Structure 1
Amino acid sequence: MSKESKTKEQLLEEEARLRQRIAELEMLEAEHRIIEDELRQSKRELSIRNEIISIFLTTPDDEMYAKVLRVILKHTESQYGFFGYIDQEGNLVCPSLTRDIWDQCQVPHKNFIFPHEQWGGLWGQSLKEKKTLYSNKPLPVPEGHVPILKTLIVPIIHGTKLIGLLAVANKAEDYTPQDQTMLETIADHIAPVLHARLQRDRQEAERQRSEEKLRESEAKYSALVEQAKDGVVIVQDEVFKFANKAMETLSGYSVEELIGKSCLDIVAPEHRDFVAQRHRLRLQGLPVPASYEIKMLDKNGAKKEVEVSVGLINYQGKPAITAFIRDISERKRMEEELLKIQKLESLGILAGGIAHDFNNLLAVTIGNLSLLELEISGYGDTASELLEAIKTASYQAKRLTQQLLTFARGGAPIRKVVYVSNLLKDAVNFALSGSRVKCELIIPDDLWPAEIDEGQISQAIDNIIINAEQAMPAGGLIRVWAENVTVEPTLSLPLKRGEYVKISIQDQGVGIPEENLPKIFDPYFTTKQKGAGLGLSIAYSIIKKHCGYIGVESELGVGSVFHIYLPATREKISTAPSGGVSEEKFCCGWGKILLMDDQEMIRNMAGQMLTRLGYRVEFASHGEEAIRLFRQAKESKDPFCAVILDLTIPGGMGGKETIQKLREIDPEVRAIASSGYSNDPIMTEYQKYGFKGIVSKPYEIKELSEVLHKVIMGNEGPAQTFG
Structure 2
Amino acid sequence: MVDMTEQRCTEPLLNQKHIATCHFFDNSPFAVFRSTLDGAEIINANGKFFELFGLTREEVLGKPFLGHYAAPTQRDSILRTVNENGHIVDAEVQFIHKNGEVRDCLASVSVFKEEGILEGMLLDITERKRTEAALLGTMALYRDFVEGTSDLVTQVDARGRFLFVNRNAERYFGWSPAECVGKFAFDFVHPDDRQKTLAAFQEWVGSCTESVTFENRQISRTGEVYDMLWTINLSYDDEELKQVNSIARDVTLQRRLLNEQIKNQKLESLGVLAGGIAHDFNNIMTGIVGSISLARVSLDSHERVSELLARAEGACQRATTLSNQLLTFAKGNRPVKKLVAAKALITSSISHALKGSKTRTMINSADGLWDLEADEGLMVQVLCNIMINASQAMQGEGVVSIALENTVLDKSNEYSLQPGPYVRFSFSDTGCGIPKDSLRRVFDPYYTTKATGSGLGLASAYSIVCKHDGHISVDSEEGVGTTFIVLLPASSCQVHAEPSLVQRQAPAKQIDGPILVVDDEEIIRNLAKEALQKLGYEVQTCSSGEQAIALYHAAMAAETPFAVVVMDLTIPGGMGGGEAARRILELDPSAVLVVSSGYSNDPILAEYARFGFSAVLPKPYSPTDLEEVLAELTQKSSLDEV
TM-score, normalised with respect to structure 2:
0.71
For residue 363 of structure 2, the aligned residue among 435, 441, 447 is: 441
For residue 228 of structure 1, the aligned residue among 149, 161, 170 is: 149
SS at match of 1:683: coil
The alignment status of 1:343 with 2:266, answered yes or no, reads yes
The alignment status of 1:573 with 2:564, answered yes or no, reads no
Measure, in 1, the Cα distance between the counterparts of 2:511 and 2:344: 36
**Aligned-pair CA distance for 1:244:** 0.4
SS at match of 2:335: coil
**Aligned-pair CA distance for 1:256:** 0.8
Aligned to 1:56: 47
**Aligned-pair CA distance for 1:398:** 3.8
For residue 329 of structure 1, the aligned residue among 252, 266, 275 is: 252
Report Cα offsets for 1:68-123 as digits up to 9, x if no partner.
5679xxxxxxxxxxxxxxxxxxxxxxx869xxxxxxxxxxxxx99xxxxxxxxxxx
The 1:390–1:263 alpha-carbon spacing in structure 2 relative to 1, beyond 3 Å, is closer
**Aligned-pair CA distance for 1:656:** 3.3
Aligned to 2:456: 534
The alignment status of 1:620 with 2:610, answered yes or no, reads no
The alignment status of 1:65 with 2:38, answered yes or no, reads no
**Which runs of no fewer than 5 residues in structure 2 stay unpaired?**
1-25, 27-31, 34-42, 62-96, 102-122
**Aligned-pair CA distance for 1:449:** 2.7
SS at match of 1:417: strand
SS at match of 1:649: coil
Query: Counterpart amino acid of 2:490?
Result: A
Measure, in 1, the Cα distance between the counterparts of 2:194 and 2:504: 73
Query: Counterpart amino acid of 2:175?
Result: Y
The 1:609–1:529 alpha-carbon spacing in structure 2 relative to 1, beyond 3 Å, is closer
**Aligned-pair CA distance for 1:245:** 0.5
Aligned to 1:702: 627
1:198-277 alignment runs, 5 A limit: 205=127, 211-237=132-158, 238-277=160-199
CA contact (8 A) 1:547 1:567 kept: yes
**Aligned-pair CA distance for 1:231:** 0.4
For residue 428 of structure 1, the aligned residue among 345, 350, 367 is: 350
Aligned to 1:467: 389
Measure, in 2, the Cα distance between the counterparts of 1:576 and 1:239: 63
The 1:319–1:708 alpha-carbon spacing in structure 2 relative to 1, beyond 3 Å, is same
Greater helix proportion:
1
The 1:603–1:242 alpha-carbon spacing in structure 2 relative to 1, beyond 3 Å, is same
1:130-529 alignment runs, 5 A limit: 205=127, 211-237=132-158, 238-280=160-202, 282-283=204-205, 286-287=208-209, 290-313=212-235, 319-368=242-291, 394-473=316-395, 475-488=397-410, 492-529=414-451
- The alignment covers a number of residue pairs equal to 543
The 1:472–1:444 alpha-carbon spacing in structure 2 relative to 1, beyond 3 Å, is same
Aligned to 1:43: none
Measure, in 2, the Cα distance between the counterparts of 1:592 and 1:536: 40
The alignment status of 1:551 with 2:493, answered yes or no, reads no
Measure, in 2, the Cα distance between the counterparts of 1:383 and 1:584: 30
SS at match of 2:390: helix
CA contact (8 A) 1:504 1:561 kept: yes
Measure, in 2, the Cα distance between the counterparts of 1:397 and 1:282: 56
Aligned to 1:5: none
CA contact (8 A) 1:405 1:678 kept: no
Measure, in 2, the Cα distance between the counterparts of 1:496 and 1:532: 32
Query: Counterpart amino acid of 2:453?
Result: G
The alignment status of 1:686 with 2:611, answered yes or no, reads no
The 1:436–1:577 alpha-carbon spacing in structure 2 relative to 1, beyond 3 Å, is closer
CA contact (8 A) 2:425 2:485 kept: yes
CA contact (8 A) 1:412 1:545 kept: yes
Measure, in 2, the Cα distance between the counterparts of 1:579 and 1:429: 14
Measure, in 1, the Cα distance between the counterparts of 2:525 and 2:471: 42
CA contact (8 A) 1:413 1:679 kept: no
CA contact (8 A) 1:670 1:691 kept: yes
**Aligned-pair CA distance for 1:249:** 0.8
Measure, in 2, the Cα distance between the counterparts of 1:503 and 1:580: 24
CA contact (8 A) 1:598 1:649 kept: yes
Measure, in 1, the Cα distance between the counterparts of 2:260 and 2:275: 22
CA contact (8 A) 2:371 2:497 kept: no
Greater relative contact order (Cα < 8 A, sep 6+)? 2
SS at match of 1:435: coil
Measure, in 1, the Cα distance between the counterparts of 2:335 and 2:447: 25
SS at match of 1:684: coil
SS at match of 1:682: coil
Report Cα offsets for 1:696-723 as digits up to 9, x if no partner.
2215342454577689x797769xxxxx
The alignment status of 1:561 with 2:483, answered yes or no, reads yes
The 1:427–1:96 alpha-carbon spacing in structure 2 relative to 1, beyond 3 Å, is closer
Report Cα offsets for 1:450-491 as digits up to 9, x if no partner.
222222222212112111221223733332232333334666
Query: Counterpart amino acid of 1:464?
Result: I
Measure, in 2, the Cα distance between the counterparts of 1:685 and 1:670: 16
1:633-644 alignment runs, 5 A limit: 643-644=565-566
**Which runs of no fewer than 5 residues in structure 1 stay unpaired?**
1-46, 72-94, 98-110, 113-199, 719-723
Aligned to 2:3: none
Measure, in 2, the Cα distance between the counterparts of 1:247 and 1:320: 19
The 1:212–1:626 alpha-carbon spacing in structure 2 relative to 1, beyond 3 Å, is farther
Query: Counterpart amino acid of 1:687?
Result: A
**Aligned-pair CA distance for 1:257:** 1.3
Report Cα offsets for 1:392-450 as digits up to 9, x if no partner.
66555444433332222222222222222233233223322222333333334433332
Report Cα offsets for 1:343-392 as digits up to 9, x if no partner.
12222232344443332123224445666677779x69999888777666
Query: Counterpart amino acid of 1:598?
Result: D
SS at match of 2:440: helix
Measure, in 1, the Cα distance between the counterparts of 2:291 and 2:404: 43
CA contact (8 A) 2:511 2:563 kept: no
The 1:635–1:354 alpha-carbon spacing in structure 2 relative to 1, beyond 3 Å, is same
Report Cα offsets for 1:160-200 as digits up to 9, x if no partner.
xxxxxxxxxxxxxxxxxxxxxxxxxxxxxxxxxxxxxxxx9
CA contact (8 A) 2:50 2:60 kept: no
| RMSD (Å), alpha carbons | 4.5
